[in-house]
Every structure is written in structure tokens, then in C-alpha cells.
Amino acid sequence: MNCWEIKKCSEDERSACPVFIKESDVVNCWDVLKCEESKRNACVAFINNNGQECWKLTGTLCHGNVIDEFKEKIKQCRKCEFFTKYAKRPM
């Protein structure tokens, strides 16, 4: 849940907020990486609806592999097209 949902901010307040992200601006890893439906359904990023910050989750299905240890996962993320393009973008 986002802060603007908890605070019940008006549309004007959300638009003026530097952390507010319009739904249309959200980019998910499964869309960029063109994951098949079966892979999306098996991935914790998709299951938890957290495809915009998948590098923060362990156990994601990345390029066909599940890596449960964060230290190893982030090594793979640094080579990933989605991570290199979106990880530095404000969320």
C-alpha cells in the first residue's frame, strides 16, 4: 500500500507529491523481459505484484533461474536489461 492511499490524498495532493507514480508510469520486469505467462505465474515478483523492483526480492524467476541468495541474485541483476534501465529510477 502506498502512503497516498493510507493518507487518502486528493488527486491534487498526489499530483504535487514527488513520490507519487501514476499507474500508467509503472513498468514491470515481466513486460520488459517479455516473460511467458507460465514463468510470470511462477515468479515471486509477479505473484507479489512487485515487478517494478524485482531486484529487491529473492526467489524471483530470472531468465529461467531462481536464485534464493541475495548476494548471488544481485550479481545477475547487474547484468539484466531491466535492472540496468530501471533500478536507478525513482520508485
Instruction: Please give the Cα distance from 78 to 75 (Å, whole number).
Output: 5
For the stretch 14-36, pLDDT in tens is 767 766 556 556 789 999 999 99
pLDDT, mean over the chain: 83
Q: What is the DSSP letter of 24?
A: G
The backbone region for 43, taken as left when phi is positive above 0, alpha when psi lies in -120 to 50, beta otherwise, is beta
pTM of the model: 0.67
The residue type of 27 is V
pLDDT bucket at 41, cuts 50 / 70 / 90: very high
For the stretch 56-75, pLDDT in tens is 998 899 888 898 899 999 99
Percent of all residues in the chain with a pLDDT value above 90, rounded to a whole number: 35
* Beta bridge partners of residue 65, listed in sequence order: 62
What is the residue extent of each domain of the chain? 26-86
Return the closest-CA partner of residue 2 out of 28, 37, 26: 26
